[in-house]
Structure 1
Amino acid sequence: MSQPPPPPPPNQPPQQGGFGAPQDPPPQGGGFGAPQAPPPGGFGAPQNPPSGGFGAPQPPQPAQGPGYGYPQTPQPPQAPPTPPQPQYGYPQAPQAPQAPQGQPGYGYPGQQQPQYGYPQTMPMQPQPPQNGGGGGKFKLNGPMGIVIAAVAVVALIVGGGLMYANSNSDDDKNTSSGSSGGTGGKDGKDDKGDKGGSTDNGGGGTGTDTSHDTAQEKVPSSTSASVLFQVPSPEVKDKQIDSVAGSWLTDSVYAKSGVNAIVGYDPDNGSKKWTLPLQGETCAGSREVTQDGIAVVVTEAAKRNSKGDHQACTQVVAFDVNTGKQLWNKTAETQGTAVPFGEVTISGTTVAVGGGYYGGAAFELKSGKALWQPKTGKCEDVGYAGGDQLVAVRKCGDYGNEAYKVQLLDSKSGSVKWTYDLPKGIDNAKVISTNPVVFGVDSGDEISLSGASDVFSLDENGKLRVKITLPDTKYDHDCTIGKVYRCKGVTVGNDKLYVPTKEHDGTGEYSQTNEIIAFSLATGKPTGERIDAGDGYDLRPIRMDGPNILAYKDGPYDKGAQVVSIDAKSLKQTKLLETPSTESVRSAISGMVPKSAEMLYTSGRLFLGQDLVSKPYSKDEKEYTAIGFGAK
């Protein structure tokens, strides 16, 4: 198949108004379009419950196709569409043509799986806005529903940026993009013990199995939390959506991205401790903070002009969360031009960036020295997942005939330790855990709302252990389409996968509830462990805390939200924090859309953050990019 026209150089100014203009990615949960703010009046004003039930509206369930193994209605092969022009800042992925019938299935080792009719590369398109998970029901009533629906349309137009990785790198010769083999060195597990080793930042974490560790979170003397502070939203111009992606929490600082800056706050009272100016808006932030307080962001190359034109996301910036000091600011180049990226992660002493057109790159954490750069050819790294180990998702082949791989890398050299080849027709992988390596894919004829309808567990040698199927109709996790390392509401520990079910009717009148279900990573089957949210509550994992599951419980209309620690053996829930139950606080939490928010919890403090901001609907409304709660 012929190669599509290459994308324009990354430094070329974006086109205005059309599909060539770079866009922010759509919000991945709950709110339709721009993030919502609490009602006017702040936390003192009495409010009515939001229409359509509490929490953010959820998208409708897609039509469910036949499951694996059922006969599929053949579709005639289609000619590949003309690939769209790539967008800079937030790259888009083109739709891929359907593959011919007869590709092999996949599943448990040694088990022959039925073929899926016409396996095909999934069309990459904006994910429907959702409340952090897949397939909920719309609850849009009256005028507010019309407004939200209208904003959803705008958000899909304005924020529809997804990633397209250009197929122009060398043959895959058991090395990572730009790597030249290397002498090996410590693997990700050993790097964890390095002072530069990454920690989970109190949020989604690395997703690693920490069953051998001791739980760190202790029960405060009082679990009743108060509002610590709110971070006001920066002023946003009409019809613009600005990016404030990234938040980090240490013992002494809560840092949150603003527009063209990162600000460090005292986590107990919100007083500003430092401000770090940036060249442009943030495009991505590391999930990890190193043990000595280093985090990394990807930013646009320059500030947006008066029209709000996006700039290329080419700058990689490392900084000290505790002091606000910038350690270095680097770019990666190919053929003399700076390469844009959409994701960044830390593993050991390596910063890896991906999610662009030309492959991935890596830098040494402390110095910013380039470890490997993108290069041209037939293969490239789409993106990376860090933490305990460094995992790459790699793509080879021409447009319309791509093949994907999951690889474990030596984090210092980029050399490949093992490779797992994905079946034809799978267009990406979303890494849930790097140790053990667990990833999800979308399989079948339709993209699932979760972004990962099948989850694969690999052993330490990269061999398939099991496949776990998570249909949208039953489960409510969220793996962002087009991202390698952004799965929320799902975690790995104790050699198990913990995933929340969709909400269903509770025992009380009009009440809803759900559960967290555990799957064995050895057998692929449910273990029988069922963690009930309780009537009126919605329960979902935040991260592992040693062998315990740290989870967020969204409360009913007259209760506060909670953070709980769940004992992995007894399944007993211990409350660590509960937010105030006033209507104004509940409305503020709902406006943050917890299922999709940047959520960090450490040492009795809970922070919820937005990654996108827009102009309020009226002058009387107040917008916030973050809100913090504390229990003593």
Structure 2
Amino acid sequence: MSFGPPPSVWTQSALAADQTRKRRRSRLLGAAAVVTAAALGLGGWLLSSAGDDRSQARPRTFAAAQSPDDIREPVEKNPVSPEGQVAVEYKESGLAKTVKGDPRYAPGTWATDKILAKGIADRIVGLTTAAKGPEKAWTLQLDGHICATSKHITADGRTAVVVQPKKPAGTKSDVCDEVVFFDVDTGRKLWQAKMPSATSAFVTDTNLTLVKGVVAVAWGEGSVAYDMRNGKQLWNSTSVSACEDNGFAGGRALLVVERCGPSSNSTYRVEKLDPRTGRTLWTYKVADGVEDVYLPSSDPPVIAVAAGDSLVTDLITLDGDGRHLATISMNGYDPKCGDRDFGAGYFGVVEYCDGVVVGRTQVYVVSKDNTELGQAANWIVAFDLKTGKTGRKFDGRSSEPLTPIQVSGDDLLVFRRSYDEVEPSAVVRWDPRTGKQTPFLLFGLPEDDQGDLADIAQSDILVAHGRVFFAKRELTADDKHPTYPVLAVLGIAGAAPGH
């Protein structure tokens, strides 16, 4: 029995991409417990509306009260004990016929205080996060395979996916034109909607995001936005134009990357939109010569550009009105934009730069790997959003590389992987104002799975409600034991008092 989709543009493009791209592999060692910055500055602000500059807001140590429709902004409290214990461990069965290059895809990972939800093929599973007796709480069966996901979740635990539903005979079976909005705690489908004129929406180019009260989807030749409350369409853009919506970034605001002109000579611009009307509030024109554009943050606005190269060369920071603040060279750094799923471009890539985390006043970027023996494996540097100047540096350890995960108030949560059989892996809280490091959770990763779990190019890594979750985005059968279930999700929580 095959668990993948029938042969289509979806699967065939996946196989072709797997055969041609080079995989970025991490070391599988055991463990127990273009243009210059000056040229880029030529890109600029074109149009502005009056309004306050939210990116200049005073840093918040504690999360402000959020309405149910707000996108969750976590401020994590340290567990009572940093000693980690397994809270979730889910293994996927029926993978015997999957192989490298033709996996069972598992896009999307979301967490509430009760549930860890994971997208797998054509369904979403909800797993309880209690330390005692973890088990599957619910399964939401979809009309087809997941094509796009968002990292965002509302304050009250709702999120969305785009699905490739089965089509009647004689129609395109590989089009991704169904949006499903669901409750993560219960697994209940709240509404679903058919995207208008989405005949060119495929897994390789469909991008989904959430902003307060709104679900927005772009697929290059069109875009659409829905009201979270009832699934009512708010606006759409499917008319023929010289520019197309390459993808959205959501969260506190809604930004869109627009690509203009022929693919052989494209130019880009970034626009801030009113989420409920689609009206343009300001436009920033990216300088010519840029190969690709990513949006690691909508507010404060941060743009990652690949200038004269396929890899990101610079970060551009803007103020709240879309005016240029600073250009930060990525020479020596590894922003990891477009690295997910080995560069295939599946499930929406515009918002994902896994080596970059953006706070209210600083952006944190991980360095390239350092191979010198006895030295830090890599490090994280804080840059000021207004000036682009470097701030404090968080050094990794020898053979213990760092991955920035997310901000928590004014702090940064960092995953530190250990290859040492004595030293555990850890999530560490780092205060960039003082340089202080505080253990958040200490734990080991399973030796046979840590190569995939600990690689953010292959797995979702997130911290939520005092727990850290590792969730693979591709699942394949074990070479030696193809009928064995395969670890898909691992969640770690702090040990309860007295343990």
Common fold: TM-score over 0.5: yes
SS in 2 for 1:290: coil
SS in 2 for 1:414: coil
Give the structure 2 partner of residue 42 of structure 1. none
Q: Is contact 1:359–1:381 with CA below 8 Å preserved after alignment?
A: yes
Residues 241-273 of structure 1 deviation map (CA, whole Å, 9 limit, x = unaligned): 222101110011111112311111111242121
Match runs of 1:517-532 below 5 Å: 517-527=381-391, 529-532=392-395
1:408 aligns with 2:281: no
Q: Name 2:431's counterpart in structure 1.
A: 567
Match of 2:195 in 1: 332
Partner of residue 209 from structure 2, selected from 320, 342, 345:
345
Q: For 2:306, give the aligned amino acid.
A: D
Root-mean-square deviation (CA, aligned residues, Å) is: 3.7
Contact 2:429 2:439 (8 Å CA) reproduced: yes
Structure 1 position 537, deviation (Å): 1.5
AA at the equivalent of 1:468: I
How do residues 476-515 of structure 1 correspond to structure 2 at under 5 angstroms? 476-480=334-338, 483-505=349-371, 508=374, 513-515=377-379
Q: Distance in 2 between matches of 1:322 and 1:515?
A: 36
1:321 maps onto 2:255 in alignment: no
TM-score, structure 1 as length reference:
0.65
Is contact 2:200-2:221 (8 Å) kept? Answer: no
Q: C-alpha distance in 1, partners of 2:40/2:53?
A: 29
Structure 2: 5+ residue stretches without partners: 58-63
Q: 2: distance between equivalents of 1:518 and 1:339?
A: 37
| Aligned with 1:261 (options 99, 120, 123) | 123
Taking a change above 3 Å as real, the CA distance of residues 20 and 606 of structure 1, as seen in their structure-2 partners, is: closer
* Alpha-carbon distance in structure 2 between the residues aligned to 1:285 and 1:265: 18
Distance 1:488 1:530 in 2: 18
How far, CA to CA, are the matches of 1:299 and 1:16 in structure 2?
16
**Which residue matches 1:556?**
419
Asked if structure 1 preserves the Cα contact closer than 8 Å seen for 2:88 and 2:128, the reply is no
Q: Retained in 1: the 8 A contact 2:291–2:307?
A: no
Alignment match, 1:205 = none
Identity %: 28
Q: Which residue in the other structure is 2:71 paired with?
A: 198
Measured at CA, do residues 617 and 274 of structure 1 come closer, stay the same or move farther in structure 2, by a change above 3 Å?
same
What does residue 246 of structure 2 align with? Answer: 382
Q: Is the 8 A contact 2:8 2:173 kept in 1?
A: no
CA distance in 1, matches of 2:415, 2:302: 22
Listed one character per residue, the Cα deviations across residues 483-508 of structure 1 (whole Å, up to 9, x for unaligned) are 31111121122422211112325664
Q: Aligned residue for 2:235? A: 372
Unaligned runs of 5+ in 1: 1-13, 37-49, 56-65, 70-103, 111-172, 176-182, 203-215
Q: Specify the alignment match of 1:231 in structure 2.
A: 90
Deviation at 1:533? 1.8
Q: CA deviation at 1:443?
A: 0.9
2:14 aligns with 23
> What CA distance in whole angstroms lies between the structure 2 residues aligned with 1:229 and 1:31?
32
Per the TM alignment, residue 232 of structure 1 is displaced from its structure 2 partner at its CA by: 1.2
Show CA shifts across 1:143-186 (max 9, x none): xxxxxxxxxxxxxxxxxxxxxxxxxxxxxx989xxxxxxx9999
Distance in 1 between residues matched to 2:109 and 2:10, nearest whole Å: 30
Q: Computing the radius of gyration over CA atoms, which structure comes out larger, 1 or 2?
A: 1
The letter of the residue matching 2:68 is K
Cα distance change on mapping 1:219 and 1:174 into 2, 3 Å: closer
> 2:172 aligned with 1:312, yes or no?
no
For 1:623, the equivalent position in structure 2 comes to: 486
Return the offset for 1:562.
0.5
The aligned amino acid for 1:245 is P
- Separation of aligned partners in 2, 1:561 and 1:409: 41
CA gap of 1:504–1:402, structure 2 versus 1, over 3 A, is closer
Work out the CA distance in 2 between the residues paired with 1:54 and 1:342.
Answer: 37
Say whether the 8 Å CA contact 2:256–2:270 is kept in structure 1.
yes
Contact 2:53 2:321 in 1 (8 A): no
Give the conservation status (yes or no) of the 8 Å contact 2:53–2:319: no
| Inter-partner Cα distance in structure 2 for 1:26 and 1:560 | 36
2:52–2:320: 8 Å Cα contact kept in structure 1?
no
Alignment-derived partner of residue 294 in structure 1: 158
Equivalents in 2 of 1:389, 1:605: separation in Å?
27
Is the alpha carbon distance of 1:326 and 1:520 closer, same or farther for their aligned partners in structure 2, counting shifts above 3 Å? same
Q: How far 1:394 sits from its partner (Å)?
A: 1.2
The equivalent of 2:61 in structure 1 is none
Q: Is 1:595 paired with 2:456?
A: yes
Alignment of 1:29-44 (within 5 A): 32=23
Shift of 1:18: 8.6
Hey, which of these two has a bigger chunk of strand by percent?
Answer: 2
Q: 1:243 aligns with which of 97, 105, 109?
A: 105
Query: Per-residue displacement from partner, 1:291-337 (whole Å, max 9, x unpaired)?
Result: 1111101121129x9xxx98322211100001111011112122x85
Give the deviation of 1:515 after TM superposition: 1.3
Q: Could you tell me how far apart the structure 2 residues matched to 1:68 and 1:329 are?
A: 45
TM-score if structure 2 supplies the norm length? 0.82
